[in-house]
Structures are given as structure tokens and as C-alpha cells.
């Protein structure tokens, strides 16, 4: 998108990159190629035409254009939109950007009256409007994908309430939890991602249209009317800010980068869990690949790619921030470079959401392997310390006592539950035979019956709340259950 300070009411857009009557020399071929953006910003065509339709109909309603001219332009724009939808549009790089390609094609179709479309408008407020419309639509799409992933997690969690596995800190086995509780932790991350995107959507939903190049226009535009037609909450308050602002893009990409990091962490756990060293999950053939040399391999490539593509999204955010950091008000041609990172960030996160939704929906968990992993690593040590603390032993003292017992058990090649009572009492006289009940993993999980904890009742409540949340959002969880299929049952 090039800069445009012209808000005139007549003339047909020139089919070359030279804009306005001042210029006597065509743009250098290298400069034209360097500055053309239509290969990227043509994705804005639906939004560009929506904005143009709202603008031209407002001009007619305000008496700025004759109704007949406005109707001719509107019908012409609708015909161009249909041509684009059918894939029949001829995109000309000599016309620089999506705006001039649409308007130039319109002029070819309906003649000089097409030049009246740009009355009271600049490409500066035009592209700012297009980008807000595009990002708003894109956020809606990403939110819908996030909700589908949440629905799959709700289904998988409901089927894994009885499955216990080690929870980890420092990638060391720490304490037992329910698999459903772990999957619901993923869901919490995604719910916050969804909230950040919707919050960004709410803030961006103001219209720049009518700000023109930077100072508005002398034509009696109805900015409230165009904002309403385009689904905005109203016009932006300041014309300079309206064309200069791109922090709505920064905010959206920051939310996407955060979500990409969350998706990467989920992916990392899927990669780890699918190794023979863990053996907690077997990924579906549909989301894994083999080796070119080792026939036995089944590689979690989709999860690895999801992890790797996070760098692109973080880079897109940095790209945008660096581009903006030194720009004075109002519009600068640097802003043409905002589109590629925005498109790439949304495309990458959307694809990653689709892939990981499929990975989790079709994965087969291994409850036996998970439970076997509970035996090693002394995951019941905290239970023993808590048991002593509940009987009046200061927790720090209890911590030291149990630490010594772990050392004794480790040296003997045993788990804590296999130590005789005499050995326990030798470390602290408070121990009695009831202590062995505390070392049962199921009991250990059930004792953590606090809000947000892994006890069955708390997990059941969390599942009900997630289903209710998705229901309020209009998400069909039962449809997600059907997509998981028989292979997804633990």
C-alpha cells in the first residue's frame, strides 16, 4: 500500500505506479518492483471492497455524489468482488497495491465515474480500515479454532479422569495428578489465549474511515454511518491517530505470540510423552511420519513443527514492533510492511491449532505406562512429609526426616511404601501403621481436594465448568467427541 494524500473527487486512477499530475517521469522499474505490495495485500480485497461500498453509499446519502453515480459504482464493486471470488481477477503489479487494482479494474468496467469513489478518502484511512476489518475477521477465525481445540480437550479430559500420571517440575517426577487435570491445564492456557484475542478485537473495533490522509476532509462525511455499516463501535476520535495507529496489530500479534508459545509447550509435552523413555502416548499415524533410513521410527513431526513454527510468530511480532518504533505521525510508507507479518502470524497459529487439535483428538494415551511411572521417583515423599506435619511436626523438620528416608530407600532399591515401620520410626517417633495409607497414589491425589486441585470432585467440577463455558460460546462439544473417535479412548 502506498501513501496517498489525494482526496479529490474526479479522475480515473492511472494504470501505472505514478500517482497524480505532478509527476512527469514514470517510476523506475526497480523502484516499482521494490514498492509494489499487491502480491501480499491482495488478501485485503474483500475488506477493501466492503469499505468502499460503505463509503460510496454514505457519499450518496450525504448528497456528495449523485445517487445514480453511487449505484453504478456500487454495482461495479460488487462485480469486481465476484470476479475476485471466482479467481478471475487480473492483479497488476504496476498498480502497486490492492486498492489501485480494485479501483483500476472498476474504472475499466464502468469508466471515469469510478474516479468518484475516492471522494473524501485517502489510501491512508482506506488501508487502516481494511486492516482493522481483516484482523477482526481473522481473530474470529482463530477464536473459533481455539474453541474447537478446547472442545477436544474437554472430551479427552472427560475420558481420562481415572488415569493417574506423574506431574513434573524441572522435568523430574514430582507428585501424582490425574491426566484429566493435566489436559485441563492446557485448556486454561487456551482460554486465556482466547480472552486476549477477544480483548484485542474489542479495542480495535473503531473505524478510521473518514480520517482521509491525516486531517480529515472538507466533504460532509458521516463517519458514524460508515462505522455502523462496517460493524465498528464507532469512529476513531483523532484523525492523525486513525491513520498512524498500528498498535491494534501489535496487540493482536502479541496475543498470537503468547498463544504460539502455549501451543509450543503443549507440543513439547506431546513430543516427550511419545518417546519410548516416557511412553505415555502413541500419536496417530495421521499426524506422524517415518524415517528415510530407520524403518522402526514413528516421529511426532507435527508436534515438532508446531514447536518450531512458534519462532516465526514471535519473529512476526518483533518485525512489526521494529518497523513501528521510529515512525513519526501520521502515515509512513514503512507501514506497508505491516501486512506480511500479520498474515503470517495468523496463518501459522491457525494451522498449528488445526494440527494440534487433530493430534490430541486422535492420540492414544497409555494409562498403564503412566501408572508404572508413579512407582519410581518417590512421588509419595510429599505425602509422608504432610502426614508428619498434620501430626504437629514442623514441616521443615518433616521435610528433613522424609529426605533421609528417601536416601535410605534409594540405597536399598526400594520405594517408600516398602520400608518397614521400624525404619520409619527410627527417623521419627510420630510414625505409626496408618502412615502406609497415605502412600497410596489415588489417596494422595484425592487428599488434594481444593479448588483447582486434582481430586476427582474438583476435576469433575472443572470439566462441567469448561463444558458450560463452551456451550455459552456456541461450541458443540458432542461434535468434538465424534471427531475424536474410538482411537482416542484411553
Q: Which residues are catalytic?
A: 170, 291
Q: Cell 476532509 identifies what position?
A: 217
Q: Cell 471427531 identifies what position?
A: 483
Cell of 450: 481444593
Cell of 184: 485441563
Q: Find out whether 2 and 35 touch, Cβ atoms under 8 Å.
A: yes
Cα 300-303-307 angle, rounded to 5 deg: 135
- Give the span between the Cα atoms of 482 and 488, in whole angstroms: 10
Strand (E) or helix (H) holding 248 = helix 247-273
Q: Find out whether 36 and 26 touch, Cβ atoms under 8 Å.
A: no
- Give the span between the Cα atoms of 309 and 330, in whole angstroms: 33
Cis peptide before 330 (omega within 30 of 0): yes
In the three-class reduction of DSSP (H, G, I as helix; E, B as strand; rest coil), residue 332 is classed as coil
Q: Find out whether 380 and 417 touch, Cβ atoms under 8 Å.
A: yes
Contacting residues for 106 by C-beta, under 8 A, at least 6 apart = 73, 76, 77, 80, 114, 117
- Give the span between the Cα atoms of 118 and 52, in whole angstroms: 9
Strands 172-178 and 281-282, how do they pair? unpaired
Nearest partner of 353 among 141, 167, 155, judged by Cα: 141
Q: Find out whether 87 and 124 touch, Cβ atoms under 8 Å.
A: no
Residue 310: other Cβ atoms inside 10 A:
22
Contacting residues for 322 by C-beta, under 8 A, at least 6 apart = none
- Give the span between the Cα atoms of 58 and 115, in whole angstroms: 16
In this structure, what DSSP letter does residue 235 have? B
Contacting residues for 174 by C-beta, under 8 A, at least 6 apart = 166, 167, 168, 377, 379
- Give the span between the Cα atoms of 68 and 58, in whole angstroms: 13
- Give the span between the Cα atoms of 4 and 335, in whole angstroms: 13
Q: What is the end-to-end Cα distance of the chain in Å, rounded?
A: 52
Amino acid at each position: 500500500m502506498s501513501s496517498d494524500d489525494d482526496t479529490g473527487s474526479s479522475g480515473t486512477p492511472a494504470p501505472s505506479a505514478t500517482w497524480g499530475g505532478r509527476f512527469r517521469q514514470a517510476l523506475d522499474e526497480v523502484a516499482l518492483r521494490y514498492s509494489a505490495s499487491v502480491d501480499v495485500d491482495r488478501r485485503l480485497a474483500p475488506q477493501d471492497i466492503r469499505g468502499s461500498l460503505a463509503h460510496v453509499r454514505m457519499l450518496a446519502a450525504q448528497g456528495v455524489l449523485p445517487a445514480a453515480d453511487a449505484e453504478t459504482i456500487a454495482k461495479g464493486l460488487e462485480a469486481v468482488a465476484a470476479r475476485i471470488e471466482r479467481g478471475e481477477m487480473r492483479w497488476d503489479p504496476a498498480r502497486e497495491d490492492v486498492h489501485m487494482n480494485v479501483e483500476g479494474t472498476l474504472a475499466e468496467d464502468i469508466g471515469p465515474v469510478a474516479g468518484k469513489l475516492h471522494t473524501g478518502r485517502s489510501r491512508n484511512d482506506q488501508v487502516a480500515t481494511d486492516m482493522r476489518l481483516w484482523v477482526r475477521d481473522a481473530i474470529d477465525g482463530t477464536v473459533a479454532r481455539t474453541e474447537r481445540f478446547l472442545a477436544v480437550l474437554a472430551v479427552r479430559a472427560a475420558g481420562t479422569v481415572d488415569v493417574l500420571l506423574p506431574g513434573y517440575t524441572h522435568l523430574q517426577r514430582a507428585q501424582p495428578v490425574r491426566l484429566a487435570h493435566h489436559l485441563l491445564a492446557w485448556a486454561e492456557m487456551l482460554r486465556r489465549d482466547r480472552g486476549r484475542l477477544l480483548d484485542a478485537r474489542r479495542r480495535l473495533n473503531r473505524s478510521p474511515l473518514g480520517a482521509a490522509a491525516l486531517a480529515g476532509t472538507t466533504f460532509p462525511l458521516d463517519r458514524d454511518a460508515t462505522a455502523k455499516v462496517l460493524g465498528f463501535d464507532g469512529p476513531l476520535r483523532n484523525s492523525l491517530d486513525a491513520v498512524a495507529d498500528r498498535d491494534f496489530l501489535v496487540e493482536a500479534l502479541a496475543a498470537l505470540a503468547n498463544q504460539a508459545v502455549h501451543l509450543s509447550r503443549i507440543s513439547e509435552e506431546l513430543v516427550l510423552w511419545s518417546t519410548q523413555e516416557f511412553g505415555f502416548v502413541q500419536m496417530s499415524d495421521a499426524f506422524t511420519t517415518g524415517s528415510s533410513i530407520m524403518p522402526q521410527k514413528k516421529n511426532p513431526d507435527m508436534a515438532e513443527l508446531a514447536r518450531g513454527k512458534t519462532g516465526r510468530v514471535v519473529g512476526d511480532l518483533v518485525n512489526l514492533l521494529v518497523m513501528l518504533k521510529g515512525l513519526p505521525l501520521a502515515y509512513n510508507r514503512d507501514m506497508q510492511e505491516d501486512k506480511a507479518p500479520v498474515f503470517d502470524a495468523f496463518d501459522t497459529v491457525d494451522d498449528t491449532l488445526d494440527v494440534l487439535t487433530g493430534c490430541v483428538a486422535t492420540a492414544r494415551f497409555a494409562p498403564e505406562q503412566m501408572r508404572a511411572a508413579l512407582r519410581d521417583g518417590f512421588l509419595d515423599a510429599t505425602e509422608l512429609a504432610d502426614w508428619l506435619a498434620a501430626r504437629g511436626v514442623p514441616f521443615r523438620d518433616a521435610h528433613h526426616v522424609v529426605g533421609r528416608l528417601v536416601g535410605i530407600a534409594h540405597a536399598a532399591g526400594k520405594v517408600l511404601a516398602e520400608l518397614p515401620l521400624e525404619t520409619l520410626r527410627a527417623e521419627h517417633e510420630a510414625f505409626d501403621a496408618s502412615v502406609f495409607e497415605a502412600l497410596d497414589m489415588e489417596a494422595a491425589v484425592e487428599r488434594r481436594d481444593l479448588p483447582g486441585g486434582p481430586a476427582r470432585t474438583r476435576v469433575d467440577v472443572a470439566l462441567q465448568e469448561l463444558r458450560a463455558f463452551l456451550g455459552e460460546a456456541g461450541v458443540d462439544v458432542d461434535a468434538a467427541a465424534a471427531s475424536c473417535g474410538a482411537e482416542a479412548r484411553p
